[in-house]
Structure 1
């Protein structure tokens, strides 16, 4: 920085030099001898419409900040940090099944997600929150002698530096501050603070100067650790007099600092930080706070009294002259009265500088962001200054380790600590997992997008990542439940089935087994149609291989190839095969005698022995054995069973064992079950076709149960779309209950899609769902809010009620709830999910 520029902005060269001398863990030693402690505060995920949660967070903030009184100064810094997409997707890639036929499509998807996110958003970002307190400050020391010694040392060091002499960093300087740091950590523990490591500390110092750049975390860290003076190693100039341009080799970014200069008289529910995190571009926030002395001539009480008397005289003069009293004078008197009341009640008083900053690749883009930011703040009565002459001052004043001094007079706000906490610090809007597949964006609006979900996606820069398997893993910080099951609820036509198929497709690429139960029998036809088109055009070989890898199983008795697909003697072994065979026969032969039961159990045992010997057998061989019996009733039952197994839906379960049965070991299976005629309730009066369908349902249930618990070390995902069809009969309900109970101990994840929230609320099963995607069902808004444990208010009803196509409320395993817009990033893959066909040309 040239001396001319320094003088133009009224800054000393020394001020703009790097002030950091050394760091150790979360401690910072500055060149003036002051020491600061930095603490990371995890983002407080408060639902955007959860007013009760926000009030509770403000209470927590108040209690923790009140403990900072002993430090006098503090800094609260919210920093946007680029998401390391490469690291995120590398971790996800470690779980991809690279030895399967899905590997090529998985590579295509992972690479495509990174490219699409960067192209559409820029670099996705997260917010980091830190609080910094001085353990020893050159600016504020209660010990006059210590202050003088620090000031003398600082003057001596500056003189030595001018002469070319430099003092080395004191050895083990941090040991002196161990007890003070422990006390500070305890004072702030209510905010769940964590200490920084030395590397995190160095990187945070550097981050102040590289906001807006594309950077590599590791490279920046190495440079700073190599030489502390590299912390501020960027070229800084002023563009158009009032905008900072920062350059680093061939990269450049423009940055603007906007101090808050006006806030509403009633700061209740101001929630500045909550507004900022809802913007679709990153905005940094730095607060330099200082607890004001209350008593004494220079204390806030004395100043307030003097200002009150002055304003009273102004009001009296205006009244005597017949002038209408200035509204600002009246409001100022009221504010001072409020301040006096807070002082009398012992309320801490804070003065602070609150500065916002944001970056862009061009001045034009910066201006657009400025308009959006100021409009957003104006909606809550907050105004900022362009601070054209103070940009460099604000750049350096917002560095870590700075505090307010008597020289800082501009842009300062004064208020009680409780009013200060109305800013609602440390929040962010997040839902989903840190590592996972990108499935959409957080929607920050309450309004309806009128079905224009693309605009909702473009309005948000907050991606939603999902890895359903994380629900079952230990040591995931912040996770509130280990329940692996997922419910996707909502009316037809809202995008429910699209999301279910999207989740199924992405997760089927992992090292898992996946099963999709398709009651509408629409997937095979659509997938094969897409495959035929791709083959004809010689396109997208990755998707071709993926489709061919799926084991499609159709429960259609009219196709001889499907006969025996659920034959227990073919697809099961041992006790499992015997038990299911007995259950199926018993369901067909209602009111049979003990001798008949003995007959078919003996026949099953005989046929199982033949299978063990290597013979190709099936359930019809059991019936043949029964027909050889010396007991007439057993022979008759065998003849009846053999007859029923032909030309009916029972042929799916009773076969000669020659056809391929459903495969418990297949990586990806789609099971089509259309054609089942299930009764609403099982009674003796049910029709024959319904009774036969129940037998098939037993087979499905047994397969699903064993699919989930066959191997504890292999995760399994079972998707049941249109689950209301299962819920219509006790046999179907039993199947769902069995699958849910397999659950966590067997690494089995059930994804249940259904229209009504009533289908996921049952009195006879308390397993529940750990994750919920709630699409709109207009007749069940209050019921869904109850299920999501969201308070019913006009705001929350709008929040859910205004969701449109492709939008839902996502309730994750961390207890977070946000409105999201589902995004299928790959149109070429989305064709698989296009099951609504029409011959009309105008729709």
Structure 2
């Protein structure tokens, strides 16, 4: 009989029916640019160290949750940023982009990373009266639970028992990753997501009961049919059944993000202490001895892979004995889901093939789907024991947990799609790129920079000029004043070529936008003479002051050369008063 693992929750802590607690944290995504191998190595190292430091907590719950991108919400937020004379034109184009992306990006997700830590209970010093009151409250909660009267709440005493351990977990995680305590709304999303996989996210109240509504039907072997009142979907759990000896560069928590369908990951890691780790290595060593005896009896040579395993086992024994290196007893399952069973079958097949290329074996158990579903819930116990994999901190680091393909900004205009590997098509890419050119200077929490400078680089003919035009056109909708220098002398020509009669009829805003720009061309020809002269494009005192300042700067006058300054003032004044302007 499976018992639902969540009795109640408060802030970022989930409390179980048997008095245990897990605290959950959101991990801020890591991004690594092209050829930034050093940054990737740093992430691997941090994950290795984290796996060591979390050992005292005993049990860790890692989750990668695909969250659908809300196109309407993003574009509505974007329009609120528009201001100035071109704001209405910007809103028109934002609405058009919204209509197109609703269809093109209906399956697009962003991957969010969470870590749950099993907390240590701290026994508090209470007086007799406090102990009595606590006992009465506990009895009251138990009666409420068995009577179904209402969902039990978390009292202050219970919460205080785990406060110190929760704070320790938060500090340890932040030494190696950037994490935040999850909000209750995020915790509710994590719970509700389990019961609406492959469906529209249904808003639910805060009670555990409302979050877990739904019918789970494991009647079809290898699948779970999820039914809601007006929606239904299918999902399949694919646990890891075999890892290669060497997991270097396997990126098994990252590479699948390029697939055109969402993939969820649940990874539970259990630590059992140095003594049991030594027993585990002794058991593996015995298997090697038995295998050696069989090879001698059959008069066969050792396999190179077996020899490598024997060397690695010897090193691991020494590390456990001398350094206290922990073993991570890990249960990893990947989840694919969709509207129909056939859709899920195809996605499961593709995922298994992708991992097979990495020498990682995924299986689709026929009878354990419901157990694996239960095991994926926050704070759940391990109930599907058959799929345990023993990892080291080094092999866990190679997962690249928290690395994301996401580039660009959360708020901004749509720029395109991210293609990160050979063979990926634009149509299948699930990585949308949004960009806000001024986000860095808004002082928002989480911003890394305060002054936006952007370099656009790449091979010849690969779209740098097109990208620049796209950014400049969208930047003016934010009220920006743009000065673009165009050494290729193509901006004006390209923009005006686009003003075809058909385009003018279908998109009148575009004509208004392009014709409002000022184009200034510099050349040695007489028709372009004087275009840098302030007297030709400024009026009144502004023209006079600017011209004087330019001439003084070019002359490199010293403060003592007042007579020359006076002559400059008089000469400029005479020119300003002339009826015929220079150039």
TM-score tier after normalising by the smaller chain length: 0.7 to 0.9
Question: Which of 479, 484, 490 is residue 511 of structure 1 equivalent to?
Answer: 479
Deviations 1:563-600 (A, max 9, x none): 87855265155366344267569989xxxx99998656
Matched, 1:341 2:318: yes
Q: Which residue of 1 aligns with 2:442?
A: 473
Matched, 1:301 2:278: yes
Shift of residue 333, structure 1, vs aligned partner: 5.3
The answer to whether the 8 Å contact 1:117/1:123 transfers is no
Shift of residue 34, structure 1, vs aligned partner: 1.7
Shift of residue 410, structure 1, vs aligned partner: 0.6
Q: Which residue of 2 aligns with 1:57?
A: 43
The answer to whether the 8 Å contact 2:534/2:543 transfers is no
Question: Which of 104, 110, 135 is residue 119 of structure 2 equivalent to?
Answer: 135
RCO higher in structure (CA 8 A, sep ≥6): 2
Question: Which of 152, 173, 180 is residue 194 of structure 1 equivalent to?
Answer: 180
Q: Which residue of 1 aligns with 2:242?
A: 262
Q: Which residue of 2 aligns with 1:735?
A: none
Distance 2:384 2:138 in 1: 20
The answer to whether the 8 Å contact 2:59/2:118 transfers is yes
The answer to whether the 8 Å contact 1:568/1:580 transfers is yes
Question: Which of 401, 407, 422 is residue 425 of structure 1 equivalent to?
Answer: 401
Shift of residue 73, structure 1, vs aligned partner: 1.0
Matched, 1:246 2:226: yes
Question: Which of 194, 199, 207 is residue 213 of structure 1 equivalent to?
Answer: 199
1:421-820 pair list within 5 angstroms: 421-445=397-421, 447=422, 456-479=425-448, 481-490=449-458, 492-534=460-502, 538-553=505-520, 566-568=533-535, 570-574=537-541, 577-580=544-547, 583=550, 601-605=569-573, 620=581, 645=582, 651=583
1:328-407 pair list within 5 angstroms: 336-345=313-322, 346-404=324-382
Deviations 1:437-477 (A, max 9, x none): 121222221x4x7xxxxx63124210111111123332341
Deviations 1:730-782 (A, max 9, x none): xxxxxxxxxxxxxxxxxxxxxxxxxxxxxxxxxxxxxxxxxxxxxxxxxxxxx
Shift of residue 135, structure 1, vs aligned partner: 1.7
The answer to whether the 8 Å contact 2:327/2:392 transfers is yes
Q: Which residue of 2 aligns with 1:30?
A: 16
Taking structure 1 as reference, are residues 567 and 185 closer, same or farther at Cα in structure 2, changes over 3 Å only?
closer
The answer to whether the 8 Å contact 2:254/2:404 transfers is yes
Structure 1: any 5+ residue segments left out of the alignment? Answer: 1-11, 138-152, 450-454, 611-616, 621-644, 646-650, 652-843
Question: Which of 152, 163, 183 is residue 168 of structure 2 equivalent to?
Answer: 183
Shift of residue 104, structure 1, vs aligned partner: 4.7
SS in 2 for 1:256: strand
SS in 2 for 1:289: strand
The answer to whether the 8 Å contact 2:267/2:330 transfers is yes
Distance 1:160 1:92 in 2: 47
Taking structure 1 as reference, are residues 547 and 55 closer, same or farther at Cα in structure 2, changes over 3 Å only?
closer
Distance 1:516 1:129 in 2: 40
Distance 1:48 1:403 in 2: 40
Q: Which residue of 1 aligns with 2:256?
A: 276
Query: What's the Cα RMSD here?
Result: 3.7
Distance 2:14 2:553 in 1: 77
Taking structure 1 as reference, are residues 579 and 515 closer, same or farther at Cα in structure 2, changes over 3 Å only?
closer
1:36-185 pair list within 5 angstroms: 36-47=22-33, 49-97=35-83, 100=85, 102-136=86-120, 168-172=152-156, 173-185=158-170
Distance 1:55 1:269 in 2: 10
Deviations 1:155-178 (A, max 9, x none): 999898666677833432323322
Distance 1:156 1:32 in 2: 16
The answer to whether the 8 Å contact 2:27/2:180 transfers is yes
Matched pairs, number: 560
Shift of residue 415, structure 1, vs aligned partner: 2.9
Taking structure 1 as reference, are residues 168 and 96 closer, same or farther at Cα in structure 2, changes over 3 Å only?
closer
Distance 1:283 1:428 in 2: 13
SS in 2 for 1:428: coil
SS in 2 for 1:184: helix
Deviations 1:764-809 (A, max 9, x none): xxxxxxxxxxxxxxxxxxxxxxxxxxxxxxxxxxxxxxxxxxxxxx
User: How does the TM-score come out when normalised to structure 1?
Assistant: 0.60
Deviations 1:471-490 (A, max 9, x none): 333234141x3343333345
SS in 2 for 1:286: strand
Q: Which residue of 1 aligns with 2:216?
A: 236
Deviations 1:205-263 (A, max 9, x none): 222323322226xxx2xx231x3201111232246432222233333222111000111
Shift of residue 46, structure 1, vs aligned partner: 2.6
Q: Relative to structure 2, which stretch is displaced further, 372-381 or 577-586?
A: 577-586
Taking structure 1 as reference, are residues 70 and 602 closer, same or farther at Cα in structure 2, changes over 3 Å only?
same
SS in 2 for 1:515: coil
Shift of residue 363, structure 1, vs aligned partner: 2.9
Taking structure 1 as reference, are residues 169 and 494 closer, same or farther at Cα in structure 2, changes over 3 Å only?
closer
The answer to whether the 8 Å contact 2:10/2:154 transfers is no
The answer to whether the 8 Å contact 2:9/2:154 transfers is no
SS in 2 for 1:468: coil
Distance 2:150 2:507 in 1: 64
SS in 1 for 2:408: coil
SS in 1 for 2:268: strand
Distance 1:557 1:332 in 2: 74
Shift of residue 282, structure 1, vs aligned partner: 2.0
Distance 1:443 1:277 in 2: 11
Q: Which residue of 1 aligns with 2:205?
A: 224
Distance 2:505 2:486 in 1: 29
Taking structure 1 as reference, are residues 432 and 158 closer, same or farther at Cα in structure 2, changes over 3 Å only?
same
Distance 1:466 1:46 in 2: 17
The answer to whether the 8 Å contact 1:40/1:194 transfers is yes
User: How does the TM-score come out when normalised to structure 2?
Assistant: 0.84
The answer to whether the 8 Å contact 1:253/1:361 transfers is yes
Determine which structure has more spread, i.e. the larger CA radius of gyration.
1
The answer to whether the 8 Å contact 1:206/1:224 transfers is no
Taking structure 1 as reference, are residues 517 and 49 closer, same or farther at Cα in structure 2, changes over 3 Å only?
closer
The answer to whether the 8 Å contact 1:578/1:605 transfers is no
